Chains A and B, each alone.
Chain A
């Protein structure tokens, strides 16, 4: 199952509401919010397609400026 670690940058003051929204995303775990408001999350899904779908939805959350990818493992997928 592909797993990735991502960092979300938010507009000032909106990190908390973004974290709230992320709680409703199946397959996304928030691992922490940094003092500057950046959010670290782990994404887990059945396929890379589903993973990217989650990231695309993250982009659409009000206040999310960027979603960046730190680590992506998809070792057990048929390629």
Chain B
């Protein structure tokens, strides 16, 4: 690169940074120079490939290669700035071991094959299994990294073509509890608020969310809000001290699982001290209770159905008497006066309160309940549906919302919040798909954990995994890794960009195109749907998952389900029929081509920032104020649920005295299959470590960096102890990140799940720690 071009680029880099934060560059480029700095680079827009935030990026392409990335200044989510993962966006496409050809296992070894050979084999396995054992013997397992088209095509093929509800996604491991929380409280999935709440509120309660590392751009918006407004308070309720705690105004540590009791205690104080909003409650809320002692899903084929019963406000109030601040202080470790103080902060009429949470709530054996309890506090205080005052679950994957939740790629769901159990929903779906309604089975089959239990038992014979890494990410991993390799007719297909701990389990591996190597749409956590075009070719023979699924459909005789000339555009226009007039309206394809994403419902070309509220939501008429219009059976009211504290299924004891919590770190995303390809990231955070409290370590004779063995009743791994790292474990707790493919911490996790959502709890099981010999 010559000197002048380098100067141009440096000036461009500084100018972009200044522009993004509203400052002026000291050394702006003159118009002609700006053009020269472009140097033949063409720019296209796309959402970021990584998390569920949905940041906009501009992708610079020259000679068929990605050569530059900019934060998209027009993107409302991130306003021109990306987090550090922006550095890897192109690198993750170009790792040296990228899969470029199909592979078939022959004599135990994965061997290159043609697409025709691979697809012929896959189709024959599907046909054979369906003929011998029926359609429920085959399955597809996808993810919140599927584009909307890919998820839609998979659902249509399996539910509408093959005739099985054996479709699940890793989102079941991630935000299924958020879905059931929203559905049980509001009868409609996804938040009423949006990211604007991060700029417009003044009081933020974070629960089990390390936003600074896992949602850095959203956390930056909170910090910017606080820089401009000294009244802003950030309260971090957590079981582990993180970089988020460091930046928060208050860090409130609590014992694992006691979030259930704490939220009930907060509600107790709000009512006891008369801080609730009686008028709002009278007009917009009903009270219910459900079953208690609901189990943990530990046994195969576990089934649960709640039995909701209406209760009065007084009955609800009385149910909270078990949660006085004093009682809950003893249980949770949070001082009673802090509980009272926090309840008053939540209810302060002068304050705009937003609650944010991630996996701490959702990966929880009472995940649905704890989501309900967070809504309870907002509904009691009437702080909901207004700018800056909303509860919101943040997501971890770029299209966990857009694809898995909205398209409904779960065993029990159909698009637009519909479910297979409802005959009218099957009828509507069949009509749009042009099939006989009888084709879609009325009964859901397996949630994600149960799906891999079924593979282990041999009830599922053929399973296809796309864009995810189940044989690293499932809990109680040993059982499911062994189960997949039991033989006896089991056949595992894995589509991915790179070799992973899942491709090593596969009989066939298919090389996939990723991100801007294909045309796509993702939907983020604030109901915003993004579109992008293909910008570069995938390497070798890699093909996108949409093509792969449609190719299987064709070979199974279901090609008529996919009669498209331009599949992406036509799938979109077909798909959006589901949400029309249902409060889930989506715009025509071109509106997304033009925009930096639109938040649904999109009615008459206008997106919706706030749902259920007059003046913002087109479904709420003038004079109606707030209307939870999706909950018709409860006369358009939201539900406050009486949900008790119940203990975790496995708690520390004398044999396994520590709580184990798993999670993410800034440098690596999920199972590390993409970020692990970036050498510097590997060096910055090369392998998982065991964070523990220095006092606990001292008792065990463990020093910083010592090798320790962490064991549960299910597995055991060795790793280095970290006593003073970026994250700091509290007494009696240890934390291990799950990205490291050589340290499969999920082998230790318990496969207990929330009976309502089916989401496993990766945050709590009992382990022991010993100094390794």
Looking at the assembled complex, report how far the CB atom of A50 sits from the nearest CB atom of chain B, in whole angstroms: 7
**B18→A32 contact, CB < 8 A:** yes
Residues from 1 to 30 in A contacting B, C-beta threshold 8 Å: 1, 3-7, 9, 11-12, 29
**A76→B1 contact, CB < 8 A:** yes
**B680→A53 contact, CB < 8 A:** yes
Looking at the assembled complex, report how far the CB atom of B85 sits from the nearest CB atom of chain A, in whole angstroms: 9
Inside 8 A of A36's CB, which chain B residues have their CB?
224, 227-228
* Main DSSP-derived SS at the B contact region: helix
**A9→B62 contact, CB < 8 A:** no
Residues from 675 to 701 in B contacting A, C-beta threshold 8 Å: 678-681, 683-684
CB within 8 A of B21: which of A38, A42, A49?
A38
CB within 8 A of A79: which of B18, B71, B94?
B94
Residue of A nearest to B73 (CB): A70
**B17→A7 contact, CB < 8 A:** yes
Which of these binds chain A: B6-14, B344-352, B582-590?
A: B6-14
Residue of A nearest to B82 (CB): A69
Which of these binds chain A: B131-139, B214-222, B260-268, B440-448?
A: B214-222
**How far is it, in angstroms, between the C-alpha of A51 and the C-alpha of B369 when the chains are bound?**
44
Bin the interface of chain B by size: 35 or more
Residues from 71 to 90 in B contacting A, C-beta threshold 8 Å: 71, 80-84, 86-88, 90
**B71→A70 contact, CB < 8 A:** yes
Residues from 230 to 249 in B contacting A, C-beta threshold 8 Å: 247
Given contacts A5-B14, A66-B83, A75-B39, contact A34 B21 (CB under 8 A): yes
Inside 8 A of A5's CB, which chain B residues have their CB?
12-17
**How far is it, in angstroms, between the C-alpha of A34 and the C-alpha of B19 when the chains are bound?**
11
Q: Which of A51, A56, A70 has the most CB of B within 10 A?
A: A70
Inside 8 A of A49's CB, which chain B residues have their CB?
678-680, 683
Decide yes or no whether B734 CB sits under 8 A from chain A.
Answer: no
Inside 8 A of A12's CB, which chain B residues have their CB?
227
Number of interface residues of A (CB under 8 A): 42
Sample of 6 further A-B pairs with CB below 8 A, known A6-B17, A71-B69: A5-B13, A32-B23, A52-B87, A53-B680, A65-B223, A68-B81
**A71→B16 contact, CB < 8 A:** yes
**How far is it, in angstroms, between the C-alpha of A42 and the C-alpha of B26 when the chains are bound?**
13
**How far is it, in angstroms, between the C-alpha of A55 and the C-alpha of B83 when the chains are bound?**
10
**B678→A79 contact, CB < 8 A:** no
**How far is it, in angstroms, between the C-alpha of A5 and the C-alpha of B228 when the chains are bound?**
23
**How far is it, in angstroms, between the C-alpha of A67 and the C-alpha of B26 when the chains are bound?**
20
CB within 8 A of A71: which of B68, B216, B247, B679?
B68
**How far is it, in angstroms, between the C-alpha of A49 and the C-alpha of B70 when the chains are bound?**
18
CB within 8 A of B68: which of A11, A66, A73?
A73
**How far is it, in angstroms, between the C-alpha of A49 and the C-alpha of B84 when the chains are bound?**
12
**A48→B91 contact, CB < 8 A:** yes
**How far is it, in angstroms, between the C-alpha of A59 and the C-alpha of B725 when the chains are bound?**
13
Inside 8 A of B19's CB, which chain A residues have their CB?
70
Looking at the assembled complex, report how far the CB atom of A59 sits from the nearest CB atom of chain B, in whole angstroms: 7
**A68→B83 contact, CB < 8 A:** yes
Decide yes or no whether B279 CB sits under 8 A from chain A.
Answer: no
**B16→A66 contact, CB < 8 A:** no
Decide yes or no whether B20 CB sits under 8 A from chain A.
Answer: yes
- Could you name 12 residue pairs across A and B whose Cβ atoms are closer than 8 Å? A1-B1, A5-B15, A6-B17, A9-B223, A11-B247, A32-B18, A48-B91, A51-B87, A70-B82, A71-B16, A71-B17, A73-B67
**How far is it, in angstroms, between the C-alpha of A65 and the C-alpha of B65 when the chains are bound?**
33
Inside 8 A of A48's CB, which chain B residues have their CB?
87, 91, 678, 680
Inside 8 A of A40's CB, which chain B residues have their CB?
14, 17-18, 21, 23
CB within 8 A of B247: which of A32, A65, A67, A68?
A65
**B12→A55 contact, CB < 8 A:** no
Q: Which of B1, B20, B82, B681 has the most CB of A within 10 A?
A: B20
CB within 8 A of A42: which of B14, B82, B83?
B14
